[in-house]
Chains A and B, each alone.
Chain A
């Protein structure tokens, strides 16, 4: 999974960029991923200001509006790629149109449910949920 991360500053700066330009460059990148046969899923996230944070520091947890307090790096969206290894994911990430200093892409492997203890009752149930809902 490639996770797009931005800061408050880059997010603010990106608001001044022409939307068509953003759509064009992101679209071209996504198109490349599709043509290379590696794109499995991709979504963009809404503005952090429209999200909320649930903080577990106290009980009951405290719900606050975004942006995310002291956490300056915001998730902006993600891609899930089907690639041979981490290096290939890195190479794709380098090509992502992530404008401006402060923007980052984090690369994480999606764990398979097979990697969890299979005798755990809830792992077994999770499989059933996934089957029932058609979700991964």
Chain B
């Protein structure tokens, strides 16, 4: 790698490759799509324009080098394409006028040369006061309730995270064509429902924020425990969810649940290094080497939880779950965990956001704090009520508690049922090992 002439071994890296385009895209895509969406008033169109600009960059930058203002370049190409689109529709309407004026004010772009947008003046293309609103509007629009959850997830990862269809497909183990179809359908749905691009009015904002948070939570959950397939954790996806939640916490600092969710994600992600054994097998909480937990992530999570509390109005469901995660994070071992506090927090969570899964987790906490019989009583109630019929979690917890009460025949039956229901290869292995240990 040394240069001719025997100079220093450092070789200048040739900029302009596909990697450089992708790196710029990851950093800038949300602002580019957001800005285009504001000026066109149409998220679907903006997303198409941004994708066209990205495609053009992938051809032009490796050939001509990376422009001095890469984000400005992408934005200018996007705006040009918008004008082309309006021209084709021969609609010299108001939006066309606005876009043309933006381009002219952006300087640099003069004449009709189409070889490339040149280097626009920095600062003129971005209105810093508006970017935050644009990015926030992106989040709200991509998570609009008119869309199905899977469409919200795909669109959020695309427009807010800058992930390609390939990356999203890999993360969710579905074909790329499926992701593309989901995104296309989502954009059509938004257009058909005439969803305006923008931050919802204050009275709607908190309710709508809930769906943004839940999409980020779904993305994280998918990354932290894959619902199917052979990989137990997909940390890249989880990390992207944490990053997007950090962005959101900056944009909406006055909502406790945003900080609560961030705290929950950081504290959960902190355990990742200890959750997988040497052969890729899952390691459950009681067996995890706590020394491997990511202390920096724990510190960030606890700080976010403090911020959530400081905003006031009390913690919501995410914040309470984060508080539970904090109990584990600060405990030196399972035995020395403050289980009474964990049970108390599950009681609170059960009131704030009642669900069979919360109840099942409460049963586990109760079984540690008060003994397996107390936990089993809660699980039996859940089973009797017919909750969680398709999930392997209920029989697997029930089996574990029965085994602790030395009721092994029933325990084996329950784990057998859990095996039938569980879709994750790694978790099935764990269940089989449990069965074998009882023989």
**Which residue numbers of A lie inside 8 Å of B, CB to CB?**
34-38, 40, 82, 84-85, 87-88, 90-92, 112-114, 124, 127-128, 130-131, 134-136
Contacts and interface: CB of A to CB of B under 8 A. Distances in A.
Interface residues of B, number: 30
Given A84-B239, A90-B20, A112-B273, 15 more contacts: A35-B250, A36-B27, A37-B243, A37-B246, A40-B300, A82-B239, A85-B23, A87-B22, A88-B23, A91-B24, A128-B291, A131-B332, A135-B295, A136-B295, A136-B296
B247 A36 contact: yes
B163 to A, nearest CB: 10
5 contacts: A34-B246, A37-B245, A88-B23, A91-B27, A127-B292
Interface of B: 13, 19-20, 22-24, 26-27, 132, 236, 239-240, 242-247, 250, 273, 290-296, 299-300, 332
A27 B250 CA distance: 15
Contacts of B296: 40, 136
A37 B23 contact: no
A60 B41 CA distance: 71
Contacts of A34: 246, 250
Question: A interface, by DSSP: helix, strand, loop or mixed?
Answer: helix
B304 to A, nearest CB: 12
Nearest to B162: A84
B27 A88 contact: yes
Contacts of A135: 295
A91 B28 CA distance: 11
Nearest to A112: B273
A107 to B, nearest CB: 11
B259 to A, nearest CB: 13
A131 B250 contact: no
A87 B20 CA distance: 6
A85 B18 CA distance: 13
Contacts of B23: 85, 87-88, 90-91
Contacts of A124: 291
Q: Closest 6 A-B residue pairs measured CB to CB?
A: A37-B246, A127-B291, A87-B23, A37-B243, A91-B23, A136-B296
Nearest to A32: B27
A55 to B, nearest CB: 23
B16 to A, nearest CB: 12
Contact of B27 (A82, A92, A128): A92
Contacts of B294: 136
Contacts of A37: 242-247, 250
A131 B20 contact: no
Contacts of B239: 82, 84
Given A37-B246, A128-B291, A84 B236 contact: yes
Contacts of B20: 87, 90-91
B26 A35 contact: no
Contacts of B295: 130-131, 134-136
B247 A35 contact: yes
A43 B101 CA distance: 42
Contacts of B245: 37
Given A91-B20, A91-B23, A131 B290 contact: yes
Nearest to A37: B246
Contacts of B240: 84
Nearest to A128: B291
